[in-house]
Amino acid sequence: MNHRPVKVLLVEDHFLARCALRSVLSGRFEVIIAAEAESGEQAVGLYEQVSPDVTLMDLRLPGMNGFDTITAIRKIHRSARIVALTNYEGSEDVFQALRCGAMGYLTKDASGEQVLDAILTVHAGVRYLPQAVRDRLSERIPAGDLTPREHQVLTLITRGLSNRDIAENLNIAEKTVRIHVSSVLDKVNARDRTQAAIYAIQRGIVHLP
């Protein structure tokens, strides 16, 4: 019995990376690339046009990032099956991608067989998380418990800003910043600001520009 190939929407802004993925998938009878997008906005529009079975979604996109794009697609198409694709293994990235609705997560050093396996697994309605990604997720610190304001404070801490600078940046009182900093250190189990910054970057909670 012949089965229809899995239609894939490829979302990747880097030309060479997109070519590499296309090369990996184009020779496989199990899948067919239905469309390619270079941005989140373009991906949302193309999703409507081609109705892919599975979407490979780079998380680091210009403009609308991958997290927001996943959320936008899933808001309209609750059954959308999306595999997040990124250079990062940070546990917070994994958690956020899954929370947005991704069913799989791959790093860009994945082999062609892993990419194909992820597509077919997710298409079958099963979550795909490589062991290394599952390990990162299990190590996840309670950063998801950070309030939006605490996340802003932590981001500014990683950029080396003082409490006074943070207060000016966020237009809040320095006393309020001290309260937020204390709460952040407690939630990420850090001894000081430096450890909190290093931990946040290593875990993918904050990405420096």
Q: Could you give the CA distance from residue 123 to residue 87 in angstroms, rounded to a whole number?
A: 23
Residue 56, pLDDT above cutoff 90: yes
- The 3-class SS string of 144-197 reads HHCCHHHHHHHHHHHCCCCHHHHHHHHCCCHHHHHHHHHHHHHHCCCCCHHHHH
Q: What pLDDT is recorded for position 80? A: 95
Residue 101 CA to chain centroid, in angstroms? 10
Assigned CATH topology for domain 6-138: Rossmann fold (3.40.50)
User: What sign for the dihedral angle of Cα 159, 162, 163, 169?
Assistant: negative
What pLDDT does 1 receive?
Answer: 42
11-16 mean pLDDT: 94
Domain ranges of the chain: 6-138, 142-202
Average pLDDT over the chain reads: 87
Which pTM value belongs to this model?
0.69
Average pLDDT in the 143-161 region? 84
State both tokens at 154. 């932590």
Res 92 pLDDT > 80: no
Write the class of the CATH domain 142-202: mainly alpha
The confidence score (pLDDT) of residue 129 equals 85
Q: What are the b/e assignments for 163-199, b being 16+ CB within 10 Å?
A: beebbeebebeeeebeebbebbbebbebeebeebbeb
